[in-house]
Amino acid sequence: MRVRGFVALSLAMFGTAVPAQSAPVPAQSVKAARCSIWMRNAIQYDGPCQFEAERGGSFSLSFPYASGDLSGLGIGEIFVLITARGVAVVSDSGPDGHVSNWGPARRSRRDRACWEGRDFRVCAY
Protein backbone atom coordinates (compact mmCIF):
# COMPACT_ATOMS: atom_id res chain seq x y z
CA MET A 1 0.00 0.00 0.00
CA ARG A 2 1.38 3.36 -0.98
CA VAL A 3 1.64 6.08 1.66
CA ARG A 4 -0.12 8.56 -0.62
CA GLY A 5 -3.20 6.29 -0.78
CA PHE A 6 -3.10 5.71 2.97
CA VAL A 7 -3.01 9.45 3.71
CA ALA A 8 -5.88 10.13 1.30
CA LEU A 9 -7.95 7.35 2.85
CA SER A 10 -7.23 8.63 6.38
CA LEU A 11 -8.18 12.21 5.47
CA ALA A 12 -11.38 11.06 3.77
CA MET A 13 -12.38 9.13 6.89
CA PHE A 14 -12.10 12.31 8.97
CA GLY A 15 -14.30 14.35 6.61
CA THR A 16 -11.52 16.30 4.88
CA ALA A 17 -12.04 16.79 1.14
CA VAL A 18 -9.46 14.96 -0.92
CA PRO A 19 -9.18 15.51 -4.67
CA ALA A 20 -9.52 12.33 -6.72
CA GLN A 21 -6.42 11.06 -8.46
CA SER A 22 -6.64 11.45 -12.22
CA ALA A 23 -4.65 8.29 -12.95
CA PRO A 24 -3.88 5.22 -10.89
CA VAL A 25 -0.41 4.90 -9.40
CA PRO A 26 1.46 2.29 -11.48
CA ALA A 27 2.51 -0.91 -9.77
CA GLN A 28 6.17 -1.32 -9.01
CA SER A 29 7.95 -3.19 -11.79
CA VAL A 30 10.05 -5.54 -9.68
CA LYS A 31 11.07 -8.85 -11.17
CA ALA A 32 13.41 -11.69 -10.40
CA ALA A 33 16.68 -11.59 -12.32
CA ARG A 34 20.23 -12.90 -12.28
CA CYS A 35 22.96 -10.38 -11.52
CA SER A 36 26.70 -10.39 -12.00
CA ILE A 37 28.67 -7.75 -10.13
CA TRP A 38 32.36 -7.26 -10.88
CA MET A 39 34.69 -4.97 -8.95
CA ARG A 40 38.37 -4.48 -9.71
CA ASN A 41 38.24 -7.20 -12.42
CA ALA A 42 36.99 -9.89 -10.03
CA ILE A 43 33.47 -11.20 -9.74
CA GLN A 44 31.95 -10.29 -6.39
CA TYR A 45 28.51 -11.76 -6.93
CA ASP A 46 26.81 -13.93 -9.52
CA GLY A 47 23.33 -15.07 -8.57
CA PRO A 48 19.70 -14.17 -8.03
CA CYS A 49 18.62 -10.58 -7.51
CA GLN A 50 15.59 -8.37 -7.81
CA PHE A 51 15.43 -5.87 -10.67
CA GLU A 52 13.28 -2.76 -10.26
CA ALA A 53 12.77 -0.65 -13.38
CA GLU A 54 12.49 3.12 -13.07
CA ARG A 55 11.52 5.77 -15.57
CA GLY A 56 13.90 6.52 -18.41
CA GLY A 57 15.66 3.15 -18.24
CA SER A 58 17.21 3.63 -14.80
CA PHE A 59 16.97 0.69 -12.44
CA SER A 60 17.94 -0.66 -9.05
CA LEU A 61 19.13 -4.10 -7.99
CA SER A 62 18.60 -5.68 -4.59
CA PHE A 63 19.91 -8.96 -3.28
CA PRO A 64 17.48 -10.51 -0.80
CA TYR A 65 18.91 -14.00 -1.36
CA ALA A 66 22.63 -13.16 -1.18
CA SER A 67 24.42 -14.90 1.63
CA GLY A 68 27.25 -12.67 2.68
CA ASP A 69 28.72 -12.00 -0.77
CA LEU A 70 27.51 -8.44 -1.06
CA SER A 71 26.73 -7.81 2.58
CA GLY A 72 30.41 -8.42 3.36
CA LEU A 73 31.15 -5.54 0.99
CA GLY A 74 28.54 -3.31 2.63
CA ILE A 75 26.25 -3.36 -0.44
CA GLY A 76 22.50 -3.63 0.07
CA GLU A 77 21.22 -2.16 -3.19
CA ILE A 78 22.80 -0.94 -6.44
CA PHE A 79 21.39 1.96 -8.45
CA VAL A 80 21.99 2.62 -12.17
CA LEU A 81 20.78 6.13 -13.00
CA ILE A 82 20.65 6.82 -16.74
CA THR A 83 21.96 10.31 -17.49
CA ALA A 84 22.09 10.10 -21.31
CA ARG A 85 21.71 7.44 -23.97
CA GLY A 86 24.18 4.68 -23.07
CA VAL A 87 25.57 6.63 -20.10
CA ALA A 88 24.76 6.19 -16.40
CA VAL A 89 25.96 6.91 -12.89
CA VAL A 90 26.19 3.90 -10.57
CA SER A 91 25.97 3.97 -6.79
CA ASP A 92 24.99 1.72 -3.93
CA SER A 93 23.42 1.97 -0.54
CA GLY A 94 24.50 -0.20 2.33
CA PRO A 95 22.42 -1.97 4.93
CA ASP A 96 23.38 0.77 7.40
CA GLY A 97 22.13 3.53 5.06
CA HIS A 98 25.46 4.81 3.72
CA VAL A 99 25.61 5.68 0.02
CA SER A 100 28.67 5.16 -2.17
CA ASN A 101 29.11 6.66 -5.63
CA TRP A 102 30.82 4.16 -7.93
CA GLY A 103 31.08 6.65 -10.77
CA PRO A 104 30.10 6.92 -14.43
CA ALA A 105 29.37 3.86 -16.55
CA ARG A 106 28.68 3.07 -20.17
CA ARG A 107 26.43 0.38 -21.53
CA SER A 108 28.51 -2.53 -22.75
CA ARG A 109 28.69 -3.04 -26.50
CA ARG A 110 29.38 -6.77 -26.02
CA ASP A 111 26.59 -7.43 -23.52
CA ARG A 112 23.71 -4.94 -23.49
CA ALA A 113 22.59 -6.17 -20.04
CA CYS A 114 25.81 -4.76 -18.54
CA TRP A 115 27.03 -1.33 -17.47
CA GLU A 116 30.81 -0.84 -17.24
CA GLY A 117 32.73 1.72 -15.23
CA ARG A 118 36.40 2.29 -14.63
CA ASP A 119 36.77 -0.56 -12.13
CA PHE A 120 33.32 -2.19 -12.02
CA ARG A 121 30.73 -3.96 -14.14
CA VAL A 122 27.04 -4.42 -13.26
CA CYS A 123 24.94 -6.91 -15.26
CA ALA A 124 21.28 -7.81 -14.83
CA TYR A 125 19.66 -10.59 -16.86
Give the tens place of pLDDT for each residue, 19-48.
Answer: 444 344 455 689 999 999 999 988 889 989
Q: What number is the average pLDDT over the span 12-25? A: 39
pTM, whole model, 2 decimals? Answer: 0.74
**Model confidence at 58: pLDDT above 60:** yes
**Model confidence at 120: pLDDT above 50:** yes
Provide the pLDDT for residue 41.
84
- Transcribe the chain into DSSP letters: --HHHHHHHHHHHTT---PPPSSPPPPP-EEEEEEEEEETTEEEEEEEEEEEE-GGG-EEEE-TT--STTGGGT-SEEEEEEEETTEEEEEEE-TTS-EEEEEEEEE-SS-TTEEEESSEEEEE-
Provide the pLDDT for residue 3.
30
**Model confidence at 2: pLDDT above 50:** no
d(CA 28, CA 84): 23
Which sign, positive or negative, has the C-alpha torsion 100, 80, 31, 124? negative
For residue 80, name the pLDDT band (cuts at 50, 70, 90).
very high
Provide the pLDDT for residue 16.
38
